[in-house]
Structure 1
Amino acid sequence: MTSHKRKTGRRRVVVGGLSALGITGAAIVTTTLLAPAGAATLPAWPQAKGSTPVATTIEVSGTYDGKLKRFAGTGELGSDGQSESQQPLFVLKDGATLKNVVIGTPAADGVHCLGSCTLQNVWWENVGEDAATFKGTSKTAVYAVHGGGAKGASDKIFQFNGAGKLVVNKFQAADFGKLVRSCGNCKKQYPRTILINDVDITTPGKSIVGVNANYGDTASLRGIRIHGDTKKKIKPCTRFTGNNTGKEPKEIGTGADGTTCRYSAGDLSYD
C-alpha cells in the first residue's frame, strides 16, 4: 500500500516565522505568508451597524466585540483635537482584545493599551489625537493590530510609548502624518520593535514609521503598497535621535539601513 503524507513543512516554517515576529493568535490563523508588495486587493471600509455614544472611557479586559457599531465621544470625550490631555474612548488592560469596532467623530484619544493587546478589525473614520497608544512596560509585551484602517490623522495613527513589540498587519492608512511613531521624547524610553506587514498606504501622508536609532529601535517593513505617491514623497522609515527630556527629537536619516530600518526595495510597491 502506498502511503500519502501531507506536505506540511512549509506551513510550519511560515507559522513559526510569524510567531517569532510577534504575529500571534488570530493574526496567525488568517496570515499564511509575509505578503509581497502588490499582492492584495484593497478591501472596502465597513458600514457601521448602529451608533453608540461614549461619555466615559470604556475599560476592556478579555474580549470586547463591538459588532461593527460606531463609537463616538460625547461630553468630556467629545473632542477630536490634538490635546495631549484627552482621554481615550477605550482602555485595554493587559491581554485584552478589541474587535469589530468603528470609531467615529469625535474620537478623543482613541484606544489605549496598558499591556499586550489585540486590535482586530478596528476602523477609525477620523483620527483624533492618536488612533491608538501602546503603553505597556514589559519588554515581552506584544501589541497586535490586525485588519482595520484609519483616516484623517494630522499627526500619528499609532503612538508607541511603551516597551515590547508592535505588529501592524493587513491595515489601511489614508490621509495621515505618520502610521507608527516610536515615542521620541518620553520620560521613560525603551528599545522598541515594530513590524509592518501587508499594509495599504494612500496619500496624503508623510512617513510610514519613525524610530529612535539611539535607543535600539527596529522597524521591519514587508508587503507595503503605497497608492497615489508616484513621486515617492512618503518616507518609508525615518530615524531619529530620541530623548527623555521632552525636547523635540532630531531627525538623523531616512531609508533602509539594515539595522534600524529594515526593508528592501521589493518590500514597497507604488501605483
Structure 2
Amino acid sequence: MANNHRRKLFTTRRSLIGGISAGVLVAGALTTTSMMSPASAAEWPTPSDDRRISETQEISGEVDGGMVRYIGEGDLGDGGQDEGQPPMFKLADGATLKNVILGAPAADGIHCSGSCTLENVWWEDVGEDAATFRGGNGATFQVIGGGARKAEDKVLQHNGGGTLKVRGFAVEDFGKLYRSCGNCSTQYERHVELDTIEVTAPGKDIVGINENFGDTARLRNITVKGDGDRRIRPCVRWQGKEGGGEPTESGSGPDGRHCLYSEGDISYE
C-alpha cells in the first residue's frame, strides 16, 4: 500500500485472534445490553494475551478482539503527545471494533474514518488521543462501555461532523474526556451525548464544545469521584477557529442551549 503504516489484517466479522468469531464475547467481556454501568478503577479487564504491532491495523465490518492487549512499537511506539502520530487502529466507515485493550505505547489510539462503534474498548495509558472521530455531518459514532486513563490531554477527539454517543464509559486521570476540535481546517456543527459515565479525578474538563459552530453537549447520569473541591468542569464552551489559530474559552456550565444538563445530572462521590 502507499501508506506503509497500514496493512489490511482484518475482514468483516473476523476475530483479531484465531478461533473467536465476531459474535462471541469472551469471559469477562461486557455485552451491549449490560454496559450502562461503567467499570470502576478496580474492575479494569485483564488481557487474554499481548500483541505488539508496528503498523496501523485497518478494520472493516465487525471485529471482536477477544480482549487481547495491543502494544505499539516502531512508528506506533513513541508514547509521546506529538500531533500527527498514526493510529493503532483505523476503522472504515460503518465498522465496529469490540473487546480490545490498548496498552502503552498507544500512538494516536483509534481513528474512525466515518460512522463507527467502539464497544468494550479500553485504553490503559492514552497516547496522543484515545480515539479520533472523522466523517461528515451525517456521521454517527458510538462508544459503548470501556474506559480510558492516563490521558495527558484529550480522550475522545471529534474532528468531523455528526454526533458522538458515549454510554457506560469510565475515565480517570485525564485532561478532557471529549473535545470538539477547536481549530480544524474544516469545522462542523458537532453534538455529543454522554450517559452513565464514571469520572475519577484528577481531571480537567468532561466536555469542551464550540458554541459559535452550534455544538451541543447532553450530559446524563455523570458520577464524579475523588473531586471534593469540584474542580473538574462538566461542560466548557469555546469560540472555535477555522483553519488554525487558538480557540478562546467563552464560558462553562449549563446554558440551556449548548451545555444541556442540570445540577441533578452530575453527582459527586
TM-score by length of 1: 0.85
Following superposition, which runs of at least 4 residues in structure 1 exceed 2 angstroms of deviation? 39-43
Contact 1:224 1:269 in 2 (8 A): yes
* 2:267 match: 269
Partner residue in 1 for 2:200: 202
Which moves more between the two structures, 77-86 or 186-195? Answer: 77-86
Specify the alignment match of 1:107 in structure 2: 106
Mapped pair 1:50 → 2:46: no
**Counterpart mapping for 1:114-263 below 5 A:** 114-137=113-136, 139-263=137-261
Deviation at 1:245, TM superposition (A): 2.9
Match of 1:75 in 2: 74
Q: Structure 1 residue 41: deviation in Å?
A: 7.0
d(CA) in 1 for partners of 2:32, 2:105 = 33
Measured in 1, the distance between the counterparts of 2:195 and 2:263 equals 14
- Residues of 1 paired with 2:167 and 2:246: CA distance? 29
What's 1:12 paired with? none
The answer to whether the Cα contact below 8 Å between 1:130 and 1:155 also exists between their aligned partners in 2 is yes
TM-score for the superposition, normalised by structure 2: 0.86
Distance 1:129 1:228, change over 3 A: same
User: Quick one: structure 1 residues 203 and 63, their matched pair in 2 at CA, closer, same or farther if it must change by over 3 Å?
Assistant: same
Deviation at 1:65, TM superposition (A): 1.1
| Structure 2 unaligned spans of 5+ | 1-29
Distance 1:112 1:59 in 2: 10
Residues 1:55 and 1:200: Cα distance change in structure 2 (over 3 Å): same
Which segment drifts farther, 175-184 or 68-77? 68-77
Query: Among the aligned pairs, what percent are the same residue?
Result: 52
Distance in 2 between residues matched to 1:177 and 1:131, nearest whole Å: 12
Contact 1:117–1:143 (Cα < 8 Å) also in 2: yes
Distance 1:29 1:172, change over 3 A: closer
What per-residue deviation string (whole Å, max 9, x for no partner) do you get for residues 12-46 of structure 1?
A: xxxxxxxxxxxxxxx996279xx7xxx87737100
Shift of 1:222: 0.1
Supply the distance in 1 between the matched residues of 2:189 and 2:31 (Cα, whole angstroms).
25
Q: For residues 41 and 177 of structure 1, what CA distance do their matches in structure 2 show?
A: 20
1:30 maps to which of 33, 38, 42 = 33
Query: Which SS does the other structure have where 1:266 is aligned?
Result: helix
The residue identity in structure 1 corresponding to 2:33 is T
* Matched pairs, number: 239
Contact 1:135–1:161 at 8 Å: present in 2 too? yes
- Tell me the residue number matched to 2:58: 59
Closer, same or farther: CA 190–40 of 1 in aligned 2, 3 Å: closer
- Whose helix fraction is larger, Structure 1's or Structure 2's? 1
Residues 170/116 of structure 1: CA separation in 2 closer, same or farther (3 Å cut): same
1:203/1:29 CA distance change after superposition, 3 Å: closer
Stretches of structure 1 lacking an aligned partner (at least 5 in a row)? 1-26
CA RMSD of aligned residues (A): 1.8
